[in-house]
Amino acid sequence: MPELPEVETIRRGLLTGDASTPPLLGQRAASVSILWERSIASPSPRELAERISGKTVRGIERRGKFLLIQLEEEFLIFHLRMSGDLSMRFLPPEQPFQPAAHDRLILTFASGWALVFNDTRKFGRAWLTMDPRSVIGSLGPEPLDEALTPEIFHAMLRVRSRQLKPLLMDQRFLAGLGNIYTDEALFCAGLHPLRLSSSLTQSEAAALLAAIRQNLLQGILEHGSSIDWVYRGGSFQNHFQVYQRSGQSCLRCGAPIQKITVGQRGTHFCPVCQPKGQQENV
């Protein structure tokens, strides 16, 4: 958390702004305040601040769970990890600078507005690089990319022999899925989280890809999921079928939702709608 829909929601909000904040596009950097140096993966905090100063924001992109802010010839890349957030905040020049709790990096613009990276748990990271591939080059395909056909997805599953839950969360296999949307997609596709990827038929793979896309698109439409203090403004949690519903009745069949641990992650599923097959590696 945040996953693809939450990161995409943040990207769109920064891109267009809203009634209370301006767009990030076109803002020219005046100064950088780094309040937690370990948030900077590379280069050094001092070099990052020097290289950003005076640069103008030319674009905002997303790749998986990463946000890429194009600053003329370089890219400022963020991974929000567990609790990171990016938002615009106005800093009145006549008032003393007062960062909020958990602010880690503040990029102040000539307009007086600032891009603020806030991260409660301090796991988020930022990179400044000429070549984004140095940071995101190992990511798998985007699940919403039309070039990812059901046939290609089936082939990707077949050449691996891994449990579905950890495989779908592996960013080298598919970029953007985390705990929430993986659990929801597997439920919609009727697939047990321990099912081996190599055992899926072509029709099952197509159903899984469709379920992934359905949940991600619905998540984006609902501005993501708000399940704790970390992420704000989303409502996809009101549509959860299994996630965080252990012990509650399945909305489809009425059986109690179960929770198990798979790859050190809590995993929610319906034992009736997602039955165990003969080819899981339990």
Per-residue confidence of the chain (282 residues) as pLDDT tens digits? 799 999 999 999 999 999 999 999 999 999 999 999 999 999 999 999 999 999 999 999 999 999 999 999 999 999 999 899 999 999 988 888 889 999 999 999 999 999 999 999 999 999 999 999 999 999 999 999 999 999 999 999 999 999 999 999 999 999 999 999 999 999 999 999 999 999 999 999 999 999 999 999 999 999 999 876 556 678 999 999 999 999 999 999 999 999 999 989 999 999 999 998 744 443
**What pLDDT score was predicted for residue 176?**
98
Cα distance between residue 142 and residue 139, in whole Å? 9
Q: What is the pLDDT of residue 281?
A: 44
Specify the pairing of strand 66-71 against strand 57-63: antiparallel
Instruction: Pick the catalytic residue from 55, 65, 104, 245.
Output: 65
State the pTM of this model. Answer: 0.94
What are the C-alpha distances in Å from 123 to residues 6, 36, 69, 177?
17, 11, 19, 18
Determine, yes or no, domain membership for 175: yes
Tell me, yes or no, if 265 is annotated catalytic. yes
Structure tokens at 182: 């993986």
Does 278 reside within a domain? Answer: no
CATH number at residue 259: 1.10.8.50
Determine the structural domain holding residue 185 and report its residue range. 150-269
Q: Which of 2, 5, 166, 193 is catalytic?
A: 2
Task: Select which of 252, 265, 271, 280 is catalytic.
Answer: 265
The structural domain count of the chain equals 2
Q: Say what the pLDDT of residue 282 is.
A: 38
Distance, CA of 80 to chain centre: 8
In the 8-state DSSP scheme, what is residue 256?
B
In a domain, 275, yes or no: no
Q: Which of 3, 6, 184, 222 is catalytic?
A: 3
Q: Please tell me whether residues 156 and 215 are part of one structural domain.
A: yes
Question: Is residue 187 exposed (0-12), middle (13-18) or buried (19+ Cβ within 10 Å)?
Answer: buried
Non-local (6+) Cβ contacts of 138 within 8 A are 171, 172
Residues 269, 261 contacting (CB under 8 angstroms): no
Exposure of 60 in the CB half-sphere (CA atoms within 13 A)? 21
3 is known as an active-site residue: yes
Which of 68, 101, 136 terminates a domain? The answer is: 136
Whether 280 is in a domain gets the answer: no
155 φ/ψ angles, rounded to the nearest 5 degrees:
-65, -40
Q: Are 247 and 240 in contact (CB under 8 A)?
A: no
Asked whether residue 121 falls in the same domain as residue 200, the answer is no
Given a contact cutoff of 8 angstroms between Cβ atoms, the answer to whether 223 and 233 are in contact is: yes
Structural domain includes residue 143: no
121 and 64 share a domain?
A: yes
Q: Quick one: tokens of 149?
A: 């056909």
Per-residue DSSP letter, 239: G
Looking at the structure, tell me whether residues 164 and 58 fall in a common domain. Answer: no
- 133 given a catalytic annotation: no
Domain-ending residue, one of 84, 113, 136: 136
Report d(CA 80, CA 66) in Å as an integer: 7
